[in-house]
Amino acid sequence: MKNLEFLKELNPAQAEAVRTIFGPLLVIAGAGSGKTKTIICRMAYLVAHGVPPEKILLLTFTRKAGKEMIERAGALLKMDCNKIMGGTFHSLCQYMLRFYGYLLGYKPNFTILDRSDSEDLINLLRNSLGLAERKKRFPKKDTLASIYSKMINQQKTLEEILSHEYPQFLDHYYEIERLFIEYVNYKKEHQLMDYDDLLLNWLEVLKNFPEVRKEIGKKFEFIMVDEYQDTNFLQGEIIKYMGETHKNVMVVGDDSQSIYGFRGAYFRNIFEFPKLFPDTKIIKLEQNYRSTQSILDLANVIISNSKIKYTKTLFTLKKGGRKPVLFKAKDETESSKFVADKVLEFRENGIKLSQMAVLFRSAYHSFDLEVELTKRGIPFVKYGGLKLLESAHMKDFLSLLRIISNPQDFISWHRVLLLLEGIGPKSTEKIISSLKQNLLNIDYTLEKLIFQFPQKEFKELVILLKELWKNKKSLSEILISVWDFYKPIFERIYYEDYHKREKDIEGVIALSEKYNLLEDFLTDLILEPIEVTDIEKPAKDEDCLTLSTVHSAKGLEWHTVFIISLIEGRFPSAYSIHNDEELEEERRLFYVAVTRARENLFLIAPMTIYIPGEGKTLAKLSRFIKEVPPSLLEFYKEEEFKEKELDNGKKFKVGDIVKHPHFGIGEVREILSSEKIRVFFEEKGNTLLNLKYTNLEKLIM
Ligand code: ATP
Ligand code: MG
């Protein structure tokens, strides 16, 4: 038996959850109460008791989170637990469908459509049905994709979704219905699955094939799910069937942190768990280990002001602590300066940049701050917001890879053909319809098409594809040939910023190193879209500040957290303000943001903002801040902030001997500006100090 020392660190409720290894288990608890830690210890506990790691399935919200948890479980046992199968629901479903999809008529190399691919396909079908031109006020492609996705995820009929959320389109009921039937058929015929199909099809297999359920039950004897509050009905059903034979299913979550409603998650899903598994044992964790009492007080107010009653009573032993600081900045410039100043101040006092984060509702809210940080040389990484895959050049690049993997992916054909010089929409249609008529003989058909379309780039494309289909090449060979093919095309169409795009593609090629198969690489890219930051990462060990949307900060924690742009229309966001349900979700989102902080929380609101076209506009403090009793906040005075700025005379000169509260005695070596000086300390060596924040005493002049 392995060393189980780690159990001693747990409180009784956590330990009980860890030791309950058989039967259904629901752990429901507030932020920072150790839910994730409990899952990690439980995995270690199972392995320590002889459960083979590959029999454990861990489902998390991002693959990265899963990987980290598995590593932490391994660290507790001092052994490798990497055989634990970790992933997201979508990655699990695609993995299972590669094996079992044939039961529904899918080949193992089916292609996954991301959201914008689905929209493009819907658009294509809409045009081919003639709905776009003839029908005025017919929904747009993104609205259609949302309606479809809601039907699937909430398992509702078209009529229910339309009458509840889009009554203005009820007149088009029959056309929309026809379009969706076409959409479903098209995907099936062409070996395509959108995100929702991954869940839907895997559930379909589980529902209809009891022998698969048995096999899966044997394969994964223990199932654990973190962040269960962000799952939906379909995911609940999947878990029900996958755990049917043994019922060893543990889920953990916090109803008040459900923030993915817009993607079809349903915050009450967590309460339905005992219905999926009768005799579920329910454990509540009530002690918060993350935040100080002052931060929790604020979090509790936010949640208790909600119309929905969440299951929460949290306490912490970290009594007191600095009250959350509210700073009403004059404008965004001042807000950014404030954050940058404070970040430097904390760093001077020994808090690493990586222990601090700036959070915001939408990715664009940090633009001003990013400029300020860059100006001051503060390194940062940003999470959330635009994914690299959403950019045109990445889509172009991936489309060709997808054709290589699945020649019947005609949406990708569309994209690629339209890039070629001399091939316009009409030629594209002609080529695609020829290919469709000769599905079994695509190679040969292409070769014949060269006579009809002798354009150089089309010819090159055909040669490239024939070569790659015929000879088994390694992934890196494929990527390099594809990139060689694209370079001149990209130079032509993206001439304005070709080099930046070139860097992205090369970064992505570098990421492919750890894959062998093109299919695996594509699947990972589409299911877990890489962030721009993944390939623009600062040097490996560089200490840097985190900038993140609140959505991407889920589950994480920092010593000091800044929440910026706390004004109406930004947080809560403008489009949520008129809808009670969405406003509730904004509230939960704010609760998530607040509960990321361990020691310090800064709430910042710029009181004027610049709106393009309107100029400087007055902003209103966020309703979530207004409702907090003033006694729970510390108000940062604007004057205080300004005075500090003025208070920096040229006090020091080279050669002065000085004393620093942490670094001890040193000698001034260089004066860089009225604020910045370089001091040599015995232990730390040359150190750059900002006088604004440093309590530096002059000893000898
Ligand atoms: P969230 O709802 O934000 O996902 P969580 O409930 O998953 O939070 P964890 O991230 O597991 O909480 O834990 C929060 C912090 O509390 C972590 O730093 C963790 O190490 C610490 N912690 C959890 N349980 C204990 C414990 N029994 N003793 C000491 N520290 C603990
Ligand atoms: Mg967690």
Three-state secondary structure of 405-422: HCCCCHHHHHHHHHHCCC
Task: Among 7, 37, 69, 591, say which to mutate for ligand 1: greatest number of ligand atoms within 8 Å of CB.
Answer: 37
Tokens 């299972």 identify what position?
A: 96
CATH topology of domain 5-95+198-287: Rossmann fold (3.40.50)
How far is C-alpha 205 from the chain's CA centre?
Answer: 28
Q: Which atom of ligand 1 is nearest to the CA of 14?
A: 27
By most ligand atoms within 8 Å of CB, the mutation choice from 6, 18, 36 for ligand 1 is: 36
Token digits of residue 145: 């994709």
| Displacement of CA 569 from its chain's centroid (Å) | 22
Hunting for tokens 């690299």 — which residue is that?
Answer: 388
CA 592 centroid distance within chain: 14
Whole-angstrom Cα distance, residue 675 to residue 45? 54
**Residue 32 is assigned to a ligand binding site:** yes
Ligand nearest to the CA of 559: 1
What fold, for 648-698?
A: SH3 type barrels. (2.30.30)
374 CA to middle of ligand 1, Å?
A: 33
Cα–Cα distance for residue pair 23/39, rounded to 1 Å = 15
- Token digits for 118? 């689905």
CB-CB contact of 17 with 282 (8 Å) = no
Determine the 3-state secondary structure of 200 from DSSP: helix
Q: What ipTM was assigned to the predicted interfaces of this complex?
A: 0.99
Return the CATH architecture of domain 396-524: Orthogonal Bundle (1.10)
pLDDT of residue 73: 95
Cα(206) to centroid of ligand 1, in Å?
34
Atom of ligand 1 nearest to the CA of 592: 3
Ligand 1: nearest atom to the Cα of 31: 2
Architecture of the domain spanning 296-385+539-635: 3-Layer(aba) Sandwich (3.40)
> Rounded to whole angstroms, how far apart are CA atoms 345 and 98?
52
29 labeled part of a ligand binding site: yes
- Separation of CA 29 and ligand 2 centre (Å): 10
- Give me the pLDDT at residue 251, please: 97
User: CA–CA separation, 464 vs 478, rounded Å?
Assistant: 10
145 in a labelled binding site:
no
Q: How far apart are CA 37 and CA 72, in angstroms?
A: 9
The first and second tokens of residue 341, run together, are 């100043």
Q: SS3 for 404?
A: helix
Ligand 1 mean position, distance from CA 34 (Å) = 3
Which ligand gives the minimal distance to the CA of 76?
1
- Number of the ligand closest to the Cα of 557: 1
pLDDT on residue 646: 43
415 alpha carbon to ligand 1 midpoint, in Å? 47
Asked whether 5 and 48 are in contact (CB, 8 A), the reply is: no
> How far does the centroid of ligand 1 lie from the alpha carbon of residue 215, in Å?
35
Residue nearest to atom 26 of ligand 1 (CA): 10
> Residue 94's closest CA among 531, 519, 530, 399?
519
Identify whether the C-beta of residue 230 lies closer than 8 Å to the C-beta of residue 191: no
Residue nearest (by alpha carbon) to ligand 1 atom 18: 290
The annotation status of 33 as a binding-site residue, yes or no, is: yes
pLDDT along the chain (701 residues), means of 10: 82 96 94 96 95 96 89 93 93 94 92 86 87 71 90 89 89 92 92 92 97 96 96 94 97 90 80 94 94 94 84 79 94 94 95 96 89 89 74 89 90 92 91 91 92 94 93 89 94 85 82 83 74 54 90 94 96 89 93 97 94 80 96 81 49 83 83 82 82 76 59
* β-pair partners for 87: 59
DSSP-assigned states of every residue in 7-19: GGGS-HHHHHHHH
Closest ligand 1 atom, CA of 39?
11
The token pair that represents 571 in the structure block: 């947080």
Domain residue extents for the chain: 5-95+198-287, 111-190, 296-385+539-635, 396-524, 648-698
363 CA distance to ligand 1 middle (Å): 27
Whether 296-385+539-635 and 5-95+198-287 are alike in CATH topology: the answer is yes
Cα–Cα distance measured from residue 682 to residue 519, given in angstroms and rounded to the nearest whole number: 56
Nearest CA to ligand 1 atom 15: 290
Lining residues, ligand 1, CB within 6 Å: 9-11, 14, 29, 31-37, 254, 257, 289-290, 555, 557, 595
Q: Is the dihedral angle over the CA atoms 411, 416, 418, 422 positive or is it negative?
A: negative
Count Cβ atoms within 10 A of the Cβ of residue 634 and give its class: 0-12 exposed, 13-18 middle, 19 or more buried: middle
**For residue 596, which atom of ligand 1 is closest to its CA?**
3
Task: Give the number of whichever ligand sits closest to the CA of residue 37.
Answer: 1
Q: Is 605 marked as binding a ligand?
A: no
Q: Ligand 1, closest atom to CA 38?
A: 11
Residue 311 near residue 277 (C-beta atoms within 8 A): no
Ligand 2 centre distance from Cα of residue 531 (Å): 22
Give the 3-state secondary structure percentages of the chain, helix then strand then coil, rounded to 5. 55, 15, 30
Residue 500 vs residues 37, 491, 597: alpha-carbon distances, Å? 41, 11, 36
Q: Give the distance (Å) from ligand 2 centre to CA of residue 37.
A: 7
- What pLDDT, on the 0 to 100 scale, is given for residue 645? 47
| Nearest-ligand number for the alpha carbon of 288 | 1
Going by CA atoms, what residue is nearest to atom 11 of ligand 1?
34
d(CA 263, CA 204): 21
By three-state DSSP, how is residue 661 classified? coil
The environment of the single-atom ion ligand 2, i.e. residues with CB closer than 5 A, is 35-36, 555
